[in-house]
Amino acid sequence: MGLSRTIAFSELVIDRRRINGDLIGARNVTMLTLIGNPRGNYDQECRSPTNRAILAQTVSRDVGPFSVTGLKPAVETLERILAQVKREERAVYDVLGHVGMMCCRYVRGSRSAISNHSWGTAIDLTLEGRLDSRGDNRTQEGLLKLRPIFNEHGFFWGAAFTTEDSMHFEASDQLIRRWADDGLLNGTPSGTVGLIDFGDRGSAVEDLQKKLNLLLGLDLDVDGIFGPATRAAVMEFQRSNGLVVDGIVGPKTRERLEA
C-alpha cells in the first residue's frame, strides 16, 4: 500500500476547503440550464439518463488507464488530463482506476441536490484498487498528486466539499460555462451566475446557512446543501424583508443578507 495510503488533512499545510483556488463545483442550476435534465426522477440508486439530447452527447471511450462513459467534452478533457498524468506522475497513472463516471442519482445523503455524475462530468477514482473513504477528512497520497493536474484543466476536487470526498473530481462550474461559450453544450450561457438556488451545494451554501441561522434564529443543518429547509429559510428571510419570495438567493436577497 503506497499511493493509496491515506493522510489526514490536519497533518498537511493545506486548507482543504480552499484547495481548488477560484474553481467551484458545478451548480445544479448551471447544469440544468446549459445541458438539461438527465432524467425525470432521482433517488440514491445509480440509473441511466433518459434525456435524448444528453444521450446524444454521451460517449464511451478508452482514456488511457481505463474506459469511461460520460458527456463528450468531459471525456475529452479527462483524456487530456490522464495523458498529462502519464507524463508527469507515471507511478500514479499505473495504479489508477475508477468506479464510475455517468450515474444519475442524488448527492449522497441528499434528496434535492443532483449529483454531477448524472451528467457524466464527474469521476470517482481508485488507487491500487482502493477507494478513498468519504467524509473521514483523509486523502490518499496519490490523489494529492493528481489534484494540481485536474485543477489545471478546470476540474474541481471533491476534498473541498463540506463532506470531504477526495475520490471525486468533477468539471467545475467555470469549465461547464466555458464549454457552453465554445458551443459544446445544448444550452447557451444565461444570467444564473451568482445565484444560489435549490439543489446547489458547496461553501457558498454553507455560508448562507450560517447567516440564515444567525439572522433568523434558526437551527438549519450547516451541510452545504440547498435543500427544502434552506429554501424555506430563504423564503422566510425574503418575506420578512419585503423581497420577492422565490426561495432563490439573487442579487437583491444577497445584498440584504450582507447588509
Q: What pLDDT band is residue 92 in, cutting at 50, 70 and 90?
A: very high
Q: Are 92 and 149 in contact (CB under 8 A)?
A: no
For the chain, give the mean pLDDT: 93
Residue 199 has pLDDT above 90, yes or no: no
Query: Could you tell me how far CA 213 lies from the centroid of its own chain?
Result: 25
- Judged by phi (left if over 0) then psi (alpha if -120 to 50, else beta), residue 236 lies in alpha
Which residues make Cβ contacts (< 8 Å) with residue 65, sequence separation at least 6?
82, 93, 94, 96, 97
The strand pairing partners of 201, in sequence order, are 225
Closest CA to 165 of 156, 173, 174, 152: 156
Which cell numbers in the block locate residue 18? 480552499
Cα gap 161→25, rounded to integer Å: 9
Q: What is the pLDDT of residues 217-235, one digit of tens each?
A: 989 999 888 988 999 999 9
Summarize the confidence of residues 112-132 as an average pLDDT. Answer: 97
Bigger pLDDT: 79 or 191?
A: 79
Q: Which amino acid is at 137?
A: N
Q: What is the pLDDT of residues 150-170, one digit of tens each?
A: 999 999 999 999 999 999 999
Q: Which amino acid is at 130?
A: R
Residue 60 has pLDDT above 90, yes or no: yes
Q: What percent of the chain has pLDDT over 90?
A: 82
Per DSSP, the three-state class of 10 is: helix
Q: Are 36 and 118 in contact (CB under 8 A)?
A: no
CA contacts within 13 A on the Cβ side of 118: 27
Which cell numbers in the block locate residue 250? 439573487
* All structural domains of the chain: 6-181 (3.30.1380), 203-258 (1.10.101.10)
Torsion of CA 143, 145, 149, 152, to 10 degrees: 90
Cα gap 154→177, rounded to integer Å: 11
Q: What is the pLDDT of residues 124-151, one digit of tens each?
A: 999 999 999 999 999 999 999 999 999 9
Q: Provide the pLDDT for residue 93.
A: 98
Strands 96-98 and 122-127: antiparallel
Q: Provide the pLDDT for residue 189.
A: 54
